[in-house]
Amino acid sequence: MTLRKLSALALLVLLLTGMLAACAPKEEAGPVTIQVYYPVAVDAPIAAIFDGYIEKFQEQNPNITVEAVYSGGYGDVKTAIQTTIDGGGEPPALAVMLATDLYDLVNAGYILALDDYIAADEDGAAYMQDFIASFMENSHYDGKTWSIPFQRSAVLMYYNADFFAEAGLEPPDSWAAWGEAGQALTQKDSDEVTRWGIEFPSGWPYWLFQPLAIGNGQNIIGEGDAEVYFDDPKVIEAVQFYIDLSEKYGAMAAGVQSIWGQAPTDLASGQTAMIVHSSGSLNTLLEQADFEVGVMPLPGKTAGTYASVPGGGNLYLFDNIDKVKQDAAWKFIRFLSEPERAADFSIQSGYFASCKGAYETEVMKAYMADNPQVAQARAALDVAGAEFSVQNLGEVRGIFHNYLQQAYNGELSAAEAMAAAQAEADAAMEAFK
């Protein structure tokens, strides 16, 4: 090897070392990248809205990069994260998952309690106080707080106010009035139904069913984390009322109705007078319908009582990742739940704003003045019970769905079905008693 070759090699080594040194991260204020897993509904521009927030957040925090990973629905996000963690990979810093996933996520050791962050925050207590109470129902376990409400909804009844006016009917204020209104508004051409009084989806039935039980004074879950009331006489009565809507009043098609996707379109196009659906459909309905859309919680059994139940997703912070990433993720959580942003998210997406402060902002007030239905939907939260969440939720919910649908389809009586559901559910939660 000649001297020239040697010196060239030395020079190359020197250059490479220099380049590597230049690339080495600086210790102070190191840039950090966090991932957020986010479920997006197929038809909503939510990804675009969320990207906008990320951009603004990165402007305010130049050393933090937020990567949003959008995928299917809530189930897909949860599955993706589970698979990552079980395969030994690193979870994202943050994810939006169902509020009801709480117990599974804590028990599996996936998520981090937020109490330290709340305590360290100078106005942490005020921040937590501002969330709408019924959205916090599924955030506490084991004396700790585990999630922050974000993309929240509730069960509502939408009705075609023009049909009600034509028939000289008032919006129903009790089960009996509801059934009778449905009956009166159902139209037939000889034997064929041309317009239903009510469409009440039941392909994935627990959520929309819950307001019936709550409206009869007994939610299907209790205070404890392994407590269900499927065979309570009031719950059985609520199951029977669903069946009565078709059997007794003829106001609805018989049996299980897998019509979640069609129901809002059916209301907008005059195929039905009332639907029970998510508050998330409000914007679509207001855009599509050429009549006055009425919005209310579901009537309860006794006159003058109403009921609803919240739903939707919360923000969860993950365990077993760098503290730097967790700190950045907490910052992003705080950024997302600022009242102005929550108000903007609500207006753009149709979900509720998660905090009371958002409803006090000028933009929100103006928006509600233009769309009185938004305030009516918001009022449903005042009569909402807790959403179905217990230990071993996947299995217990599966059991409840199975028997509830058997009752809806007339394979078992309401009482038989709920007794069987109770027994199986108690067995499935044995480990927690």
| CB proximity list for 247: less than 8 A, separation 6 or greater | 254
Q: How far is the CB of 394 from other proteins (least distance, A)?
A: 3
Cα–Cα nearest to 238, from 220, 260, 259: 220
Count Cβ atoms within 10 A of the Cβ of residue 53 and give its class: 0-12 exposed, 13-18 middle, 19 or more buried. Answer: middle
Tokens of 46: 């939510």
Residue 196's DSSP bridge partners are 272
Q: For residues 411 and 408, what is the distance between their CA atoms, to the nearest angstrom? A: 8
Q: How far is the CB of 1 from other proteins (least distance, A)?
A: 31
Q: How far is the CB of 282 from other proteins (least distance, A)?
A: 22
Q: How far is the CB of 279 from other proteins (least distance, A)?
A: 22
Q: How far is the CB of 231 from other proteins (least distance, A)?
A: 17
Distances (CA, A) of 406 to 393, 403, 409: 20, 5, 5
Which phi and psi angles does 189 have, rounded to 5°? -115, 105
> Which amino acid does the sequence have at 102?
L
Q: How far is the CB of 271 from other proteins (least distance, A)?
A: 7
Q: How far is the CB of 42 from other proteins (least distance, A)?
A: 9
- Residue (90 or 322) nearer to other proteins, CB: 90
- Residue (49 or 419) nearer to other proteins, CB: 419
Q: For residues 102 and 147, what is the distance between their CA atoms, to the nearest angstrom? A: 8
- Residue (273 or 328) nearer to other proteins, CB: 273
Q: How far is the CB of 74 from other proteins (least distance, A)?
A: 12
- Residue (42 or 119) nearer to other proteins, CB: 42
Q: For residues 158 and 153, what is the distance between their CA atoms, to the nearest angstrom? A: 14
- Residue (130 or 225) nearer to other proteins, CB: 225
Reduced to 3 states (helix: H, G, I; strand: E, B; else coil), residue 291 is coil
Tokens of 210: 């819950």
- Residue (302 or 402) nearer to other proteins, CB: 402
Q: What is the gyration radius of the CA atoms in the chain, in angstroms?
A: 26
- Residue (266 or 292) nearer to other proteins, CB: 266
Contact 57, 50 (CB under 8 A): no
Contact residues for other proteins (CB under 8 A)?
75, 78-79, 82, 86, 103-104, 107-109, 193, 202-204, 253-259, 261-262, 271, 391-395, 397-398, 401-403, 405-406, 408-409, 411, 431-432
Q: What secondary structure letter does DSSP report for 314?
A: E
Tokens of 168: 């000289």
- Residue (17 or 107) nearer to other proteins, CB: 107
Distances (CA, A) of 325 to 57, 317, 322: 15, 10, 5
Cα–Cα nearest to 277, from 152, 154, 383: 154
Tokens of 252: 């609805």
- Residue (174 or 409) nearer to other proteins, CB: 409
Q: For residues 163 and 273, what is the distance between their CA atoms, to the nearest angstrom? A: 7
Q: How far is the CB of 263 from other proteins (least distance, A)?
A: 10
Q: How far is the CB of 167 from other proteins (least distance, A)?
A: 21
| CB proximity list for 375: less than 8 A, separation 6 or greater | 368
- Residue (143 or 304) nearer to other proteins, CB: 143
